[in-house]
Amino acid sequence: MPRETLTITDNRTGRTYDLPIDHGTIRATDLDQIRLADGDAGITSYDPGFKNTAACDSRITFLDGDRGILLYRGYPIEQLAEHSTYLETAYLLLDAQLPTTEQLDAWTYNITHHTILHENIKKFMEGFRHDAHPMGMLLSTVGALSSFYPRARDIFDSASRRRQIARLIAKMPTLAAFSYRHSVGLPYAYPDNRLSYTGNFLNMMFRMTELEYKPNPVLERALEVLFILHADHEQNCSTSAMRGVGSSLVDPYAAVAAAVAALYGPLHGGANEQVLHMLQEIGDVRRVPDFIKRVKGGEIRLMGFGHRIYKSYDPRAKIIKRMADQVFAVTGRNPLLDIALELERIALEDDYFVGRKLYPNVDFYSGLIYQAMGFPLRMFPVLFAIPRTVGWLAQWEEMLLDPERKIARPRQIYHGSPRRDYVPLLERS
Ligand SMILES: CC(C)(COP(=O)(O)OP(=O)(O)OC[C@H]1O[C@@H](n2cnc3c(N)ncnc32)[C@H](O)[C@@H]1OP(=O)(O)O)[C@@H](O)C(=O)NCCC(=O)NCCS
């Protein structure tokens, strides 16, 4: 079969270059052969924010932003949300296949028996201020785990790698719940091995004096679905951080800390917290049109709207919106829901949003559900970090085993000062 190529003609020299196209992609390093002058370095591509640059070849998650399709290892997110559990989906993301009953049992046992933290982590947590943000605590404590597991540096030993992966997936909910309980002055609640992954997380978050915590099955399932929806999302900001930092061959705890830090920002994992602030600020359905006017004037952004990849309705947002009713049937309706529905209704009819293809993303409704379930706003990015940990780890392992792996090291265009000589302090005007 003839290979597809892209032909570039240099107008100055008349020379042509045929660059092979593979999967709709040219290799940026193929541009290197095009030189502006003899002796010059070849030309490079400039792409701030990586809007049109593929940084890896991946087999984990497929995302078609125009058609609103999201697949984990080929399975549609809608089917996983309906039939799977978080731990089964985590297995799938890591191993590329759905597990058999025995495999799932062994995997669940493994995760359940790694949830306890070293007691010194608790002492470490005591050092944080009483009002520390749980996401700040999570990112530092997960990084600190690196010092507890020195074998984690053996990243090319597959058994050690798999042990750290299980530890991270198992311990993130414990770290997250402990961070929360520290920030509100509650005693830490230890894991309960009888419960599911999400049921146990609810237990560690909300158990008070009862001897046995029984999660509400509707809320436990809702959290399971939310965790499935957040498990991976190909090369987003935090996953790129995980791959980028991991490419220096650091241990996975340090790389996950970097990914958590990336997720902390308001344009990424902090967005659902911002959605709630926005809805609270609007406060009344009647104020929605004024708010939309301010958004269109460029004064503020409509949080929970728009996405770098999705240029249609985010499939995850659709599932969450449907699930909201089941949760509210248990918790009572979140009064902010009406404001969100009105914002969505107006925005989806307005040329500003339609023209820019801005639709609700995963964060638009998830915060309303989390709030109704009793999670404080400051826990929202943490609730994103827990399930995304498996996505980060699957991508990290794929990156490590990629024969084309290279340390992440982008190029730059230099527009700074040309060479100049140092001027001693007293001679400067
Ligand atoms: C997610 C996001 C960062 C993607 O950004 P991006 O791909 O870089 O898109 P841009 O910032 O270039 O936006 C493109 C245009 O849409 C507008 N736009 C994008 N998101 C918008 C929003 N939420 N509200 C209002 N306008 C928005 C921009 O102002 C820009 O308009 P312009 O062309 O007139 O300048 C962006 O949509 C955003 O900030 N959304 C709100 C935060 C959020 O919900 N994040 C969670 C993502 S899951």
Encode pLDDT of 130-148 as tens digits. Answer: 889 999 999 999 999 999 9
Ligand 1 centroid from CA 33, angstroms: 36
Residue pair 286/42 in contact by the 8 Å Cβ criterion: no
| Gap from CA of 307 to ligand 1 centroid (Å) | 6
Q: Which pLDDT belongs to residue 267?
A: 86
- Of 30, 268, 338, 402, the active-site residue reads 268
The ranges of the chain with pLDDT < 70 are 1-2
Determine whether the shortest distance from the Cβ of 356 to ligand 1 is under 6 A: yes
What confidence score (pLDDT) does residue 243 get? 98
Q: Ligand 1 pocket, 362 CB below 6 A? A: yes
pLDDT of residue 1: 47
320 close to ligand 1 (CB < 6 Angstrom) = no
Q: Which atom of ligand 1 is nearest to the CA of 307?
A: 1
Q: Is the CB of 275 under 6 A from ligand 1?
A: no
Q: What is the pLDDT of residue 56?
A: 96
Helix then strand then coil, % of the chain, to nearest 5 = 55, 5, 40
Residue 172 sits at φ, ψ, to 5 deg, of -55, -45
Helix axes 252-263, 237-246, angle to 10 degrees: 150
pLDDT at 13 (0 to 100) = 84
The position carrying tokens 């947590």 is 125
* CA–CA dist 89, 86 (Å, integer): 5
Active-site residue, 83 included: no
Catalytic residue among 232, 251, 314, 363: 363
Query: Is the CB of 389 inside a 6 Å radius of any atom of ligand 1?
Result: no
Distance 143 CA to ligand 1 centre (A): 31
CA of 357 to the centre of ligand 1 (A): 10
- Whole-angstrom Cα distance, residue 236 to residue 333? 32
Active site residue 114: no
| Nearest Cα residue to atom 31 of ligand 1 | 356
Q: pLDDT tens digits, residue range 77-102?
A: 999 999 999 999 999 999 999 999 99
Summarize pLDDT for 240-280 with one digit per residue, the tens: 999 999 999 999 999 999 999 999 998 888 888 899 999 99
For ligand 1, whether the C-beta of 357 sits within 6 Å is no
Whether the Cβ atoms of residue 233 and residue 62 lie closer than 8 Å to each other: no
Tell me, yes or no, if 363 is annotated catalytic. Answer: yes
Question: Which of 51, 9, 386, 338 lies closest to 230, judged by CA?
Answer: 386
Q: Cα–Cα–Cα angle for 295, 375, 193, nearest 5°?
A: 140
CA separation for the pair 283, 338 (Å, rounded): 10
Q: Is 363 in the pocket of ligand 1 (CB under 6 A)?
A: yes
Summarised one tens digit per residue, pLDDT across range 31-44 is 999 988 878 888 99
Question: Is the distance from the beta carbon of residue 301 to the nearest atom of ligand 1 less than 6 Å?
Answer: yes
